[in-house]
Amino acid sequence: MESISIDIETFSSVNLAKCGVYKYAESPDFQVLLFGYALDGGHVQVVDLASGERIPEKVLTALSDDSVTKWAFNANFERVCLSRYLRDLGCLSGGLHQNAADTGMFLDPGSWRCTMVWSAYLGMPHSLVDVGEVLDLDKKKMTEGKDLIRYFCQPCAPGKTNGGRTRNLPSHDRLKWETFKDYNRRDVETEMAIQSRLRNYPVPEQVWDQYHQDQEINDRGIALDMVLVENAIQIDSLSRSELSNAIQSATDLENPNSVQQMKAWLEDNGLKTDTLGKKQVSQLMQDCTPEVKEVLLLRQQLAKSSVKKYIAMKNAVCSDGRARGMFLFYGANRTGRFAGRLIQLQNLPQNHLPDLDAARKLVRSGDAEGLKLLYDNVPDTLSQLIRTAFVPKEGCKFIVSDFAAIEARVIAWLAGETWRQKVFRDNGDIYCASASAMFHVPVVKHGVNGHLRQKGKIAELALGYGGSTGALKAMGALEMGLKEEELLPLVTAWRESNANIVNLWWDVDSAAKEALELKTSVELGCLTFTCRSGMLFITLPSGRSLSYVKPQLGTNQFGGECITYMGIGATKKWERLETYGPKLVENIVQGISRDILCYAMATLRDTRIVAHVHDELIIECGRDMPLENICRQMGRTPPWAPGLLLRADGYETDYYRKD
């Protein structure tokens, strides 16, 4: 036996979507119902475990055999659930992580392959049914699946019609159960069909190795301060009740949370608005009576969604106090970047409280009155404390290290923008240097012409990928004090001072179009553009490729020629999308930045990486681990990017925070 394709159906009373597979699989009532499998691409077998059938001994052995490759779509689910199943059988003696004490009692991901990752690597969706449609497979996922899963895999509400039961068993509907077994069989067949269809586009081994490390990090998890979490939820509930009562007292509204009721009240008080978004409410407060302003301030506090993160933590935390499964490998299939799951570390609020420790201690002690007395805005304070709920295990500390201006460094290296590279070589301030290059005067932070630094910063953040005045506005240029008439000159000045980056946009555009038109390979510096068999590939310096499905030359909204391809758009649907040079450069730069992060993660694999956020690593380590060792190792330039100047900065902390 060389490989086994697997799909399982399970039951658990834990909500999978809210809590994640790790907590789902540790529920006392967790059960594997059906085990569908095929050996070496052969006929699919379904083992009806719920009806007393047993998985053959050779298959059980294969699950723990590192020499047998296990395939599944979203393999993390099968691997974690089968780890629990084998533990219950008492036969999880082999096949564990090499350091199971570090990563938990889970099957070693090293011999597992995920068809979902393979699909995402080639620019396709993360859903089995959607991939089947995109590839137009003969054996697609059965549409009855959702109803069957709801019936057999989730608790049911007791009632007179079902005899008051809380769970549906095979005996309760034999016809549905037989259909469910067919559904399980079809999922294995569909997964195998995807393997067959994609075999000419293999995933590089280095990407599989990155996936395996991602699984190790997900298995390891990160500890949560549940005292802080529980008290934050209670204090937030009390605060929301007080805010609602205050608004109700001031407005006589039946439901202060109602957007429609609040908009009607504002209109009665001379303020008409279509939305109650944060930006719009801030504008409304500039031109209203003190009484209305007070209501709007209360409304802003009430609208703060800080408690949702704490509730997500409570939902996700496992019995050992650690949250697991927070990262989706290849979550952004245009670039290969990771996506967040469950608690969503990628969009945590920042913290700016000067006395973070004091606020944290008040919440941990449950002192709602003290918190209210010392901090005017309780919801905002709780929001700023969210990061601090992530803590190292006892006796350890966190080292948090991130890359300095990673995308700016990568695009300067790719484009050969030498003045920018000199800034990085000299550890200069890129915002000051950019403003200096744009306005032809020296700019020093908090010094000579220091007022120009803000213009350099907004230009750097908004204009690197072809953005113009609209991008500046989206970045908040007008709110930062820039005037409308300043925006276009700012765009022109940035582009003139970064001519090599502008040239890179259109060189990439030309190379991609040439590869597409001639169905050939085109080299551009360290990049290779290849069009074959209905795919456009951009091979990055690391050897990994970005993938664009069914590329064509089309016409954009302005009447110019552009490249189109099939992908997941803003509507979350599979549709034809437009792209062009600057957008491709954005994909390339973010893709290379992702590869640099993965290279750093690989070099630091022997440390306990517990999380990563954008270009930042969070490492749980002993108190004696030197910070400079981690930063130096993380800042190493990969061998495939000679000349790229990297720097990693970091700090030590007893809880996660923004330094």
Binning pLDDT at 50, 70 and 90, where does residue 585 land? very high
The predicted-structure confidence for 454-470, as pLDDT tens digits, reads as follows 888 888 888 999 999 99
pLDDT of residue 96: 62
The predicted-structure confidence for 381-418, as pLDDT tens digits, reads as follows 999 999 999 999 999 999 999 999 999 999 999 999 99
pLDDT at residue 606 tops 60: yes
- 648: Cβ contacts below 8 Å, ≥ 6 apart: 401, 402, 403, 404, 600, 630, 631, 632, 634, 635
Spatial strand order of the sheet with 112-114 comes to: 45-48, 31-39, 3-11, 69-72, 112-114
pLDDT of residue 529: 98
* 3-state SS class at 655: coil
pLDDT at residue 339 tops 60: yes
The predicted-structure confidence for 97-111, as pLDDT tens digits, reads as follows 555 566 668 999 999
pLDDT of residue 305: 61
CATH class assigned to 392-406+504-659: alpha beta
Domain boundaries, the chain: 3-203, 226-390, 392-406+504-659, 418-497
DSSP single-letter state for residue 13: S
Cα 212 from Cα 20, distance rounded (Å): 19
pLDDT of residue 9: 98
pLDDT at residue 287 tops 80: no
pLDDT at residue 651 tops 60: yes
Handedness of CA 14, 16, 19, 21 (dihedral sign): positive
pLDDT of residue 564: 95
Spatial strand order of the sheet with 561-568 comes to: 521-524, 527-532, 535-539, 545-555, 561-568, 574-579
The predicted-structure confidence for 203-250, as pLDDT tens digits, reads as follows 999 999 999 999 999 999 999 999 999 999 999 999 888 888 888 888
Cα 303 from Cα 309, distance rounded (Å): 14
The predicted-structure confidence for 510-519, as pLDDT tens digits, reads as follows 999 999 999 9
Binning pLDDT at 50, 70 and 90, where does residue 642 land? very high
pLDDT at residue 557 tops 60: yes
Q: Which residue has the higher pLDDT, 376 or 329?
A: 329
Q: Name the pairing type of β-strands 574-579 and 396-403.
A: unpaired
What proportion of the chain, given as a percentage, has pLDDT over 90?
68
pLDDT of residue 558: 81
Q: How many CB atoms lie within 10 A of CB 180?
A: 27
Q: Name the pairing type of β-strands 69-72 and 45-48.
A: unpaired
Mean pLDDT of 83-104: 73
pLDDT of residue 603: 96
Closest residue by Cα to residue 413 from 529, 601, 515, 541: 541
Mean pLDDT of the chain: 92
Q: Which residue has the higher pLDDT, 301 or 545?
A: 545
Cα 24 from Cα 112, distance rounded (Å): 20
The predicted-structure confidence for 5-24, as pLDDT tens digits, reads as follows 999 999 999 999 999 999 99
pLDDT of residue 150: 95
pLDDT of residue 361: 96
Which of 121-125, 163-167, 471-475, 513-517 shows the lowest per-residue confidence on average (mean pLDDT)? 471-475
Binning pLDDT at 50, 70 and 90, where does residue 168 land? very high
The helix (run of H) or strand (run of E) holding residue 552 is strand 545-555
Closest residue by Cα to residue 425 from 413, 442, 407, 441: 413
Residue-wise DSSP of 158-222: --TTTTT-SS--GGG-HHHHHHHHHHHHHHHHHHHHHHHHHTTSPPPHHHHHHHHHHHHHHHH-E
pLDDT at residue 68 tops 90: yes
pLDDT of residue 101: 60
DSSP single-letter state for residue 57: H
Which of 2-16, 508-522, 558-572 shows the lowest per-residue confidence on average (mean pLDDT)? 558-572
CATH class assigned to 3-203: alpha beta
